A and B are shown apart, each in its own frame.
Chain A
Amino acid sequence: MIRVGLPAHLRTLAGVEGEVEVDLDGVVSIGAILDDLESRFGPLRGTMRDRVTGKRRPFVRFFAGEDDVSHDPFDAPLPEAVARGRERFTVVGAMAGG
């Protein structure tokens, strides 16, 4: 079981509170987690990655535990600690003023 942390705006859109749990068969990767989230919570489609290009939105970052994995390929395996739920996979809206 993978533990996913979403920023407040995305939790509101998804209608969830706290962490989201994701169960995956096969490789645990950023892309697989996003696929699962988007299939279960339709309003999240397009909010983390572009609907046309599939690329990460510029002001969204992904963390595996404390490591910034935003630039890793979407199909790259995430660390086992994340795959087993010991550490959290976190979606972050980049810091910005205004």
Chain B
Amino acid sequence: MSGVRVLIGTRKGAFVASADGARKAWNIDGPFFGGWEIYHVTGSPVDPDRLFASQSTGWFGQIIQRSDDAGRTWNPVGNDFRYEGVPGTHQWYDGTPHPWEFARVWHLEPSHTDPDTVYAGVEDAALFRSTDAGMNWNELAALREHGTGSSWQPGAGGLCLHTIVLDPLDAQRMWVAISAAGVFRTSDGGASWTATNKGLVSEGIPDPDAEVGHCVHRLAMHPTRPNVLFMQKHWDVMRTDDGGDSWREISGNLPTDFGFAIDVHAHEPETIYVVPIKSDSEHFPPDGKLRVYRSRTGGDEWEALTRGLPQENCYVNVLRDAMAVDTLDDCGIYFGTTGGQVYASADGGDSWDTIVRDLPAVLSVEVQTLS
């Protein structure tokens, strides 16, 4: 029988929600790692029993946890994230040089083909890879050593590499996104990188051809179309049809084009989802109404999805890693809020139910589709 497992990272621990294919009755396990910030929990597409979690605190630093039994038991694995060579400097908020310093792992991206290979996006921005299931980590240093690296500047959340998109059809190709540097693509497994930010326009960057400096919040791809990427930028929702060589805006009729999360329907590559958020400082939904917006046209034309979501007095945020989709026939959409709610739709967004309502602030949501 089919089912889903929703992996939830929060400010104070991890939780696992599971349900059968109907996605109506949920069982919640956790907290795991209570008291620790869990920036991301995710599972291997190759071996769904293998999970990875990024666990950190300001007191005791970074831990990586791995489960080989679908989250029933966990063991700490490697936490030595050491930059290659002498890492040099990037720009600080005031424009002065600042040494590269490891702070935490924001995102873990397991390989599509090898259960022992997993990538880690970290702050200060760099990409690491483990080929032994998280025991040892090596930096793919060519990214940080990209000619623009010394000019990268942190966003409000730090200089973080928060998004890793692997090309399911070409193991050598991937994209990463860094706040606030932009998108970078490799076509040779990380040996070299190209900044792919043409077409992005950002307030505060007067040069429309600036190679880097854009605060990209999140990328999403449908696995059958790796040349089409969707982006939620600090402001603007964008898409590329040529693997990042050029981007165009698709914000259309959104009530605000600021936001963090973006995702693609599992079976409809032109159906995408965002959660518009009021900014620059509020970071809650406009008018106190929590609305997911769906475009069935690959952008530009958006409809508000509200059934089952609070439409008054709602002032939560939905963070960049806190939206996911399952691959059941009726595609399920999931997202978590900084108010501790996790919502699920079992009908592509037409209606929503609450999986769990009172967790700590949700940092990440991933879903595994189980057969």
Contact = CB atoms under 8 A, between A and B. Distances in A.
Interface in B37-83: 57-63, 76, 79-80, 82
A9 B36 contact: yes
B35 A46 contact: no
Contacts of B62: 46
B102 interface: yes
Interface in B102-124: 102
Q: How large is the interface on B (under 10, 10 to 19, 20 to 34, 35 or more residues)?
A: 10 to 19
A51 interface: yes
Interface string A14-50: 0000000000000000000000000000110111101
B81 to A, nearest CB: 8
Given A9-B35, A59-B58, A47 B63 contact: yes
Interface string A75-93: 0000000000000000001
A60 interface: yes
Q: Chain A interface residue count: which class?
A: 20 to 34
Interface in A53-98: 57-60, 93-94, 96
A43 B60 contact: no
B60 A51 contact: no
Contact of B82 (A13, A51, A94): A51
A46 B64 CA distance: 12
B80 A59 contact: no
B14 to A, nearest CB: 14
A54 B82 CA distance: 13
B79 A45 contact: yes
B60 A48 contact: yes
A42 B62 CA distance: 13
Contacts of B59: 7, 9, 57, 59-60, 93-94, 96
Greatest chain B CB density within 10 A among A10, A42, A52 is at A52
Contacts of B58: 58-59, 96
Nearest to B81: A51
Given A51-B82, A52-B102, A10 B60 contact: yes
A43 B60 CA distance: 11
A45 B60 contact: no
A43 B80 CA distance: 10
Nearest to A91: B60
Contacts of B80: 45-46, 51
A60 B61 CA distance: 10
A42 B35 CA distance: 21
Nearest to A14: B76
B76 A13 contact: yes
Contacts of B35: 9
Contacts of A57: 59-61
Contacts of B82: 51-52
Contacts of B102: 52
Nearest to B64: A43
Contact of B60 (A42, A93, A96): A93
A98 to B, nearest CB: 9
A43 B61 contact: no
Contacts of B57: 9
A58 B58 CA distance: 8
Nearest to B75: A43
Contacts of A50: 61
Given A13-B60, A94-B59, 8 more contacts: A9-B60, A13-B63, A43-B76, A50-B61, A52-B82, A58-B58, A60-B60, A96-B58
8 contacts: A10-B60, A13-B60, A46-B62, A48-B60, A52-B82, A57-B59, A59-B59, A96-B58
